[in-house]
Amino acid sequence: MNPASSTSTLTESDFLADVWKGLSRPQKTLPCKYFYDVRGSELFDQICELDEYYPTRTELEIMESCVDRMAEKIGPHSTLIEFGSGSSLKTRLLLDSLTPPLTYAPIDISGDYLLDVADSLRSLYPQFEIVPIVADFTQPIDTFQLAESPSRRVVYFPGSTLGNFPQEEAGRLLKQMADLVGPEGSLLIGIDLEKEIDVLKAAYNDSAGVTAEFNLNLLTRINRELEGDFDLDQFRHEAIWNEKHSRIEMHLVSDCEQTVTIAEREFEFATGESIHTENSHKYSLDRFSALAEAAGFRIETSWTDERDWFAVLHCRVR
């Protein structure tokens, strides 16, 4: 089967509209999905290697020790649909343990990158059908390409990505997943658990400054692609803990009063005013369970690390 498209589903006009809309709000925002241009993706890969950044390393440890049991939950005669697949590194651990017949359908917003990954996976796993779908997974997914695939569907959503969404949006995304997999389907998801605040702050304010560069790269991308004139020397990265919402918030803070122009539209910044670029919510198992139940899932099995810093959960549709 052919992929839905050879390019990203997001256009320059989508990007501009989202930037204008976000910077027009009382609390200025920028969507975190625009972090991942080529440079942003490279920087995120570097973040995942940092000593302070525990989520990727901890999830991989759980996957490596428990992947056979996870594969049993998925089983053959299934379609594994990964939301926001990226390089599919963790998925390769799963695919190594799964048995055919099986279809793997990675979904990612970056079309060219996704197709390259799919080609690589076809070479590594000729026993599986690989069906890349270029799409924004926050929107309804057109799965016409999966019509002839095995009937049971499993969504795979690793990396604690659900934590980037406010609770209402996270619940809506989980409901979309439940609808996608249907009554016989299930969900394998990674979530970052609540822990000491000092550990969280260090993870998003690394000593090498890579996360700061990653955050500021979003302004570089706007300058390059949308005729922006952000002066990066006048903005700084800040990551703070929001106790009320149980989340780390990433901001870009203006160090002076200034005017920024983007595609001939001006935006005023006061000294100390911030652009809110990303959330990373941290869950307790009970709080996630309530969110999943409301969306139509129940937790069937949970796997955690020795410190209970991270969890991978298998959830069945209720």
Which amino acid is it at 110? S
Residue 266, burial from CB neighbour count under 10 angstroms (0-12, 13-18, 19+): exposed
Q: Hunting for tokens 């869950």 — which residue is that? A: 283
Q: How far is 129 from 149, CA to CA, in rounded Å?
A: 9
pLDDT digits (tens, 9 = 90+) for 121-158: 999 999 999 999 988 888 888 877 776 666 799 999 99
The hierarchical CATH code for the domain 54-195+282-317 is 3.40.50.150
pTM: 0.89
pLDDT digits (tens, 9 = 90+) for 208-258: 999 999 999 999 999 999 999 999 999 999 999 999 999 999 999 999 999
Q: How far is 299 from 271, CA to CA, in rounded Å?
A: 46
pLDDT digits (tens, 9 = 90+) for 175-188: 999 999 999 999 99
pLDDT at 38: 83
pLDDT at 90: 87
pLDDT at 88: 67
pLDDT at 138: 87
pLDDT at 11: 66
Which amino acid is it at 10? L
Domain ranges of the chain: 18-44+201-281, 54-195+282-317
pLDDT at 148: 64
pLDDT at 144: 76
Counting residues of the chain whose pLDDT is more than 90, the rounded percentage is 81
Q: Is the pLDDT of residue 5 over 50?
A: no
pLDDT at 87: 65
